[in-house]
């Protein structure tokens, strides 16, 4: 079985380099990226589509011409008080919190947000449910979630920072005979 992971197209907040807000929309470039991804996706076999409840993934679903099931467990990390700000703004406004986040990346819960460990638990719970279905699926989601999924393949969350997922990219996790492996990673089509 294959878990086909699609990162949403470039969003307005991606352009601004801020920790994204829930309602940010795709940019015109993001729409182009997804239209290119759509052509590739048409050649793939899958039974179900799941998507994050955030606006940029709903826009991606629309431009892919798909329908699916909204799945809150594959929404992006909640960055809490960092949301809507650049890293530099966060460093100036919340220096203590930024330092804690850097020093304890996996376990630090950003105020009004969540920790990487918390996000990992919800994502892995969902991935394990998907594997039990034993059917190819598409997940329209976010870079953080794709990185967690790849770290899940490695059985170690510390691999989170070793992966990249560009806007509009497709990555594929394959499961065969109980073994997980990454068969495609960060493939873009523009």
Terminal C-alpha separation, the chain: 27
Condensed to tens digits (0 to 9), the pLDDT of residues 94-134 reads 999 999 999 999 999 999 999 999 999 999 999 999 999 99
pLDDT at 41 over 80: yes
3-state secondary structure of 66: coil
Query: Look-up: residue for tokens 């826009």?
Result: 59
The pLDDT tens digits for 42-91 are 999 999 999 999 999 999 999 999 999 999 999 999 999 999 999 999 99
- List the strands of the sheet with 137-141, edge to edge: 69-70, 48-51, 137-141, 2-7, 170-176, 179-187
Distance CA 85, CA 153 (A): 31
Upper half-sphere CA count for residue 157 (Cβ side, 13 Å): 14
Residue 5: which H helix or E strand, with range?
A: strand 2-7
CA distance 186 to 53: 22
Length of the chain: 190
Domain 2-77+115-187 -> CATH class = alpha beta
Average pLDDT rounded to a whole number, residues 36-46: 94
CB 171 within 8 A of CB 81: no
Instruction: For the chain, give every domain's residue range.
Output: 2-77+115-187
3-state secondary structure of 87: helix
Token digits of residue 111: 């105020």
The one-character DSSP state at 168 is T
Q: pLDDT value at position 138? A: 99
Q: Which helix (H) or strand (E) holds 107?
A: none
Segment 145-184, tens digit of pLDDT: 999 999 999 999 999 999 999 999 999 999 999 899 999 9
The tokens describing 122, both together, are 């919800």
Q: What is this structure's pTM?
A: 0.96
**Alpha helices per DSSP H over 104-189:** 116-133, 143-153
């Amino acid at each position: 079985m294959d878990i086909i992971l699609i990162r949403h197209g470039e969003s307005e907040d991606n352009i601004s380099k801020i920790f994204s807000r829930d309602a940010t929309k795709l940019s015109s470039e993001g729409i182009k990226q997804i239209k290119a991804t759509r052509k590739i996706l048409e050649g793939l076999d899958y039974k179900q589509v799941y998507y994050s409840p955030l606006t940029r993934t709903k826009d991606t679903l629309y431009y892919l011409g798909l329908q699916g099931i909204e799945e809150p467990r594959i929404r992006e990390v909640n960055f809490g008080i960092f949301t809507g700000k650049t890293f530099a703004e966060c460093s100036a406004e919340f220096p203590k919190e930024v330092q804690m986040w850097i020093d304890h990346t996996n376990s630090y819960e950003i105020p009004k947000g969540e920790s990487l460990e918390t996000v990992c638990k919800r994502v892995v719970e969902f991935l394990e449910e998907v594997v039990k279905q034993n059917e190819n699926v598409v997940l329209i989601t976010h870079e953080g979630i794709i990185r967690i999924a790849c770290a899940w393949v490695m059985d170690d969350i510390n691999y989170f920072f070793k992966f990249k997922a560009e806007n509009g990219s497709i990555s594929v996790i394959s499961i065969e005979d109980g073994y997980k492996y990454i068969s495609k990673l960060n493939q873009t089509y523009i």
